[in-house]
């Protein structure tokens, strides 16, 4: 669960460092303005850390995308791409025979880095397309089918707006239901614990406390600028804005159900970046006033949803989150990159 951005004052400097985070397989990714770090607990119990500069992609070089109400789309795409990259590395750690995984678990064939990179790109694109199709487009077909069946008539002129609202309701139910379902899987619950540890570590540094296990454990596992909030705000905005767009804007109202539902596809594609842009600006504003009542009220649905997407971490999860955050802080302050061969004992991280 990525975060569009978290800010904490650097105690040694009068400036703000912006952080984002993501829970991965047995680990946590943290990112700062110029670097990102991934810390994972290997099968042998050690914490493995990797830090790299943020690569300037083609998207990142587009200055026009960094303007208000456009940077939300940039943040969404950038976080997704970086997240898949971090997840890929985390998976490699779990399969590395040098870190305690069985030798048979890793293919003996030589690695083709170009092929791996291409597969990562395809995974990112494929994942985005699949998520969009399931959570944005499938509800359009379901809503259309329900309205046609209930009305018992192929003519839905008087039901167009109602169908729009029903589709948005189905999207919300589908999204929350999906989160509730996956949270029942033990492997996903472990990821949610790392998600909670990520929040606790960032909350600790924002509270100007030292990064220790005890200090982190005392913090809440919820965070007002979590990526879950970002998605919930997009969902709420969609419920307000999208139904107002005529359902027969592209296809006539008396068109077959499948055609009317399909005609919503380009509308959803056009509206999504707009919603992301508005949601991102709300998250940024909330980041500067997270203790204000209006922020807590506005972000209450997202905070409630975080009760599903995060879980109370144990000390072992906190230790990994601390290692990741310390690595990215070190990179920002000293320019020193902690790499995967700098393995740390659990005791050393928690000290």
Average pLDDT over residues 20-30: 88
Residue 9 pLDDT grade (very low, low, confident, very high; cuts 50, 70, 90): very low
CB 296 within 8 A of CB 194: no
Residue 130 pLDDT grade (very low, low, confident, very high; cuts 50, 70, 90): low
Residue 289 pLDDT grade (very low, low, confident, very high; cuts 50, 70, 90): low
Q: What is the pLDDT of residue 114?
A: 54
Q: What is the pLDDT of residue 197?
A: 95
Q: What is the pLDDT of residue 169?
A: 93
What's the pLDDT tens digit per position in 135-176? 888 999 999 888 888 876 555 455 788 899 999 999 999 888
pLDDT at 25 over 70: yes
Determine which of 70-84, 168-182, 305-319 has the lowest per-residue pLDDT on average: 70-84
**Could you give the C-alpha distances from 151 to 158, 298, 331, in angstroms and in order?**
10, 36, 62
Find the Cα–Cα–Cα–Cα dihedral 37, 39, 40, 41, rounded to 10°. Answer: 170
H or E element at residue 349 = helix 346-350
**Could you give the C-alpha distances from 32 to 84, 161, 272, in angstroms and in order?**
17, 44, 26
Q: What is the pLDDT of residue 226?
A: 82
Percent of the chain with pLDDT over 90: 24
What is the C-alpha separation between 15 and 13, in angstroms, rounded? 6
Residue 124 pLDDT grade (very low, low, confident, very high; cuts 50, 70, 90): very low
Q: What is the pLDDT of residue 78?
A: 73
Q: What is the pLDDT of residue 60?
A: 54
pLDDT at 342 over 60: no
CB 4 within 8 A of CB 227: yes
Q: Would you kindly state where each structural domain of the chain is located, as residue ranges?
A: 6-350
CA 338 to chain centroid, in Å, comes to 24
Average pLDDT over residues 79-98: 81
- Pairing status of strand 35-41 against strand 16-24: unpaired
pLDDT at 336 over 80: no
Which token pair is 161? 């707006």
Determine which of 59-73, 196-210, 231-245, 315-329 has the lowest per-residue pLDDT on average: 59-73
What's the pLDDT tens digit per position in 97-107? 888 755 544 44
Which token pair is 231? 């998605």
Residue 129 pLDDT grade (very low, low, confident, very high; cuts 50, 70, 90): low
Average pLDDT over residues 1-30: 62
- Count Cα atoms within 13 angstroms, Cβ side, for 141: 10
Query: What value does the mean pLDDT of the chain take?
Result: 78
pLDDT at 286 over 60: yes
C-alpha angle 26/31/35, rounded to 5°?
A: 115
Which token pair is 82? 């970086």
What is the C-alpha separation between 257 and 107, in angstroms, rounded? 48
Read off φ and ψ for residue 224, nearest 5 degrees: -65, -20
Q: What is the pLDDT of residue 154?
A: 53
Average pLDDT over residues 255-270: 89
What is the C-alpha separation between 309 and 287, in angstroms, rounded? 20
- Residue (of 332, 326, 311) closest to 1 by Cα position: 311
pLDDT at 312 over 90: yes
């Amino acid at each position: 669960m990525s975060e569009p951005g978290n800010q904490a004052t650097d105690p040694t400097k009068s400036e703000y460092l912006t952080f984002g985070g993501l829970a991965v397989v047995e680990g946590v990714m943290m990112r700062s303005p110029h670097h990102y770090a991934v810390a994972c607990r290997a099968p042998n119990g050690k914490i493995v850390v990797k830090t790299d500069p943020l690569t300037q992609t083609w998207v990142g070089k587009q200055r026009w995308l960094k303007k208000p109400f456009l940077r939300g789309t940039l943040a969404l795409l950038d976080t997704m791409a970086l997240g898949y990259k971090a997840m890929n590395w985390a998976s490699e750690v779990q399969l590395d025979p040098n870190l305690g995984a069985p030798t048979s678990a890793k293919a003996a064939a030589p690695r083709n880095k170009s092929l791996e990179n291409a597969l990562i790109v395809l995974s990112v694109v494929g994942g985005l397309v699949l998520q969009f199709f399931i959570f944005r487009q499938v509800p359009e077909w379901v809503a259309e089918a329900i309205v046609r069946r209930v009305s018992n008539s192929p003519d839905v002129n008087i039901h167009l707006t109602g169908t729009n609202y029903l589709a948005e309701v189905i999207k919300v139910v589908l999204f929350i239901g999906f989160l509730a379902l996956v949270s029942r899987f033990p492997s996903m619950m472990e990821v949610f614990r790392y998600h909670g540890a990520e929040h606790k570590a960032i909350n600790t540094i924002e509270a100007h406390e030292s990064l220790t296990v005890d200090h982190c454990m005392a913090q809440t596992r919820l965070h007002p600028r979590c990526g879950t909030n970002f998605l919930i705000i997009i969902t709420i905005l969609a419920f307000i804005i999208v139904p107002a767009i005529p359902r027969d804007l592209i296809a006539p109202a008396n068109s077959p159900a499948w055609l009317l539902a399909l005609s919503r596809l380009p509308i959803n594609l056009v509206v999504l970046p707009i919603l992301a842009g508005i949601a991102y600006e709300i998250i940024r504003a909330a980041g500067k006033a997270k203790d204000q009542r209006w922020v807590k009220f506005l972000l209450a649905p997202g905070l409630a949803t975080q009760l599903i997407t995060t879980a109370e971490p144990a000390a072992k999860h906190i230790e990994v989150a601390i290692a990741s955050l310390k690595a990215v802080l070190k990179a920002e302050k000293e320019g020193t990159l902690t790499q995967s061969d700098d393995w740390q004992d659990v005791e050393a991280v928690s000290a």
